[in-house]
Amino acid sequence: MDIRTNIPLKNFTTMRLGGPARFFADAHSPAEAQALYRNAKQQQLPVFILGGGSNLLARDEGFDGLVIRMRILGFEVIADDLNTTTIKVGAGEIWDSVVERTVSMNLSGIEAMSAIPGTAGAAPVQNVGAYGQEIAETLISLEAYDTQNDAFAVLQNEDCNFSYRHSIFRGDQQGRYIITSITLQLSKSLPAPPFYDTLQSYLDANNISFYTQQTIRDAVKTIRAEKLPDPTVIANSGSFFKNSIIDAWRANELRQNFPDIKMFEMADGRMKVPSGWLIEKAGLKGSVSHGIRVYEKNALVLVNEAATGYQDLAAAREEIISKVRDTFQVIIEQEPLEITA
């Protein structure tokens, strides 16, 4: 295991901000992840697990501990029947490569999550989702190193306590588990409507009425390319704000004041409001503050245009949150995680 020192975290986050990690190492197997963690704890060092760095922010002071970057590979069919195929995927696999491979196998369930940057192991952490699909819908179980018990564990779907962009891994068990693999059960049926509104509109506009896994993947990739900047070209961390969840009574008030507002009803009766719509209607789309630009094609995205540090991003973030709160009395929340002890 090669442990390096004083590694700039801005080189490993797509927002390209952040100071140095005191120690940095790659884990290519569950055993390596365990050994690295044990060694760090013996030295009384904090540990942070890094995937692709696409939904992650690093602060200017860096991280005074060990950052373990997951590089565990693997893609294995572990069960196959008339209706489904179950696959086990290493935590270090690139997520979009996993989607591409399952689509080539004519499997349904994650095709609408195409072109999401990051690794497979990070997907359950915030219950990654897009265009009507979430990882919670196909994840059967995952394997992880339980740092609390110093043992490997298998967590079932229900153990993860998934909700909108949330799980135990960014909730009350944050930092306890190091995910080493995920197991997904995918369908052999063709994708079927109703599809997410944006996706359906694209399909209709392009006269696509025969739906395959590949046509949905191609459509999503095209939509995302038009709305989301490529993080390898333009520094950003994807959707910076979660969509807002509000009570039904508050939704009715907003409809009265803003008749064109878009909302989506959730299973529990609450309403999901697109935070990008709120930011745009607050007049912030395309604006620049502290070197951070609200992306002109998608107000959910913040672009690092000329920020010199995390403090610039934080200042811009708070200005946006304040303006939306003052305009709509809705508090929007940051989606990316932050590297902290």
243 burial type by CB count under 10 A (0-12 exposed, 13-18 middle, 19+ buried): buried
Say how far apart CA 184 and CA 176 lie, in whole Å: 22
Residue 104 annotated to the active site: no
Please check whether residue 332 is in contact with residue 317, taking contact to mean a CB–CB distance below 8 angstroms.
Answer: no
| Helix 213-227 × helix 95-104 angle, to 10° | 150
Phi and psi, residue 122, nearest 5°: -80, -20
Cβ neighbour number for residue 164 with a 10 Å cutoff:
15
Q: HSE of 9 in the Cβ direction (CA atoms, 13 Å)? A: 33
The two three-digit tokens of residue 10, written as one number: 């801005």
List 69's β-bridge partners, or say none: 26, 50
Catalytically annotated residue among 54, 181, 237, 239: 239
CA distances from 35 to 27, 29, 161, 175, 324 (A): 9, 10, 28, 16, 46
Say how far apart CA 189 and CA 326 lie, in whole Å: 47
Task: State how beta strands 63-70 and 56-57 pair.
Answer: unpaired
List 23's β-bridge partners, or say none: 5, 66
Catalytically annotated residue among 69, 71, 165, 217: 165
Residue 165 annotated to the active site: yes
Catalytically annotated residue among 280, 305, 319, 335: 335
Residues assigned a catalytic role: 165, 239, 335
